[in-house]
Amino acid sequence: MAEWQTRRTQNPLPERACGFESHSGHSIAFPLTIVEVMSTVALFPGQGALSASHVDEIRTLPTWNDTASEIDDVTGGSLTAYLTDPDPARLVDTDRAQLVTFAISVATWRAASNAGITATHMVGHSLGEFSALTAAGVLTLSNGATLVHRRGIAMRRACLHTEGAMAALMGPEENRDHRLEQTDGVWIANVNGPTQVVISGYRSPIADICHEPRAWGWKRATPLTVDGAFHSPLMASAQDDLNDALATISFHDSPVTVLANVTGEVAIGDEWRDRLSRQLQSAVQFEKCVLALPESVTTAYEMGPGSTLVGLAKRIRFFDTLSQWEGR
């Protein structure tokens, strides 16, 4: 599954020199050439990356119709219903945004794969973790779509029963995490890099932090256009529905390495049942996931709507190539 590239480097250490005997009988020494195998990570965004313009763009992908049809088959036509709703503002509702973003991401990955793009590693952000697991073959498309559909509906229901909100905090100052952790009704939802975290919680304290972010150790705060407090205890009422869905799903081994949001570490097989369950109320450790990638991963493509993860990843570590995949 690797996208094989090579980089040749000259080893400067004399004890690693190699040599051979020439026809004249003299030994000729030369420095050992090390060949490193360069590989690729595919990044899959969460629902916040979605906008109405992405829906029009994705229809040009040759993989879209088949992908959408397969997802409709296991969700009772929900994907088509969401996309044909005459009120485009409803596209950002949690249940709709999650299934549509998942469909776009999987269709994009299929098109990239058909074009010869391969990956040794995959990282998803929140909902994007389900897209990554489907792309890696840990989940079948029908199982991935089923989980996303059930998760989105359960989370939407939780949003309607809580006064939740989220905000992105930028430009950290000293001890900023400690100050947030001491604030009642507020939790860290995403650790997106050295200069950004996303907080989640009740609307009132979130509004207070957005009004005066420096009091909590941050230079700027931007409220997010979401309908609830994701990755926080305010999603607890959705937990049973998600766990019931996870209990019916099989997880397969894959040659692709997928890093888990809740730990920033590799997970395999049935370990994903626990990781995906915990993710609902736990912080997305995107920075840890990116830092856990080996140095040999020098290329990163974002697979899905927008380029949110490209912007985050470039602030975490260097890649030779880092871009949204655009093969339409």
**Residues annotated catalytic, as ranges:** 126, 231
Residue 252 CB burial class (10 angstroms; 0-12, 13-18, ≥19): middle
Q: How far apart are CA 254 and CA 174, in angstroms?
A: 41
Q: How far is CA 17 from the centre of its chain?
A: 43
CA separation, residue 66 to residues 12, 35, 69, 229 (Å): 53, 40, 5, 33
Q: What angle do CA 156, 160, 165 make, to 5 degrees?
A: 85
Instruction: List the beta strands (DSSP E) in the chain.
Output: 5-10, 18-21, 27-30, 33-44, 121-124, 164-172, 186-193, 196-202, 218-223, 257-259, 297-302, 321-324
Q: How far apart are CA 39 and CA 57, in angstroms?
A: 28
**Which residues, including other chains, have CB under 8 Å from residue 240's CB and lie 6 or more apart?**
none
Contact 42, 109 (CB under 8 A): yes
Q: How far apart are CA 300 and CA 138, in angstroms?
A: 20
For residue 210, what is the DSSP state?
H
Phi/psi of residue 13, nearest 5 degrees: -80, 125
Q: How far is CA 35 from the centre of its chain?
A: 30
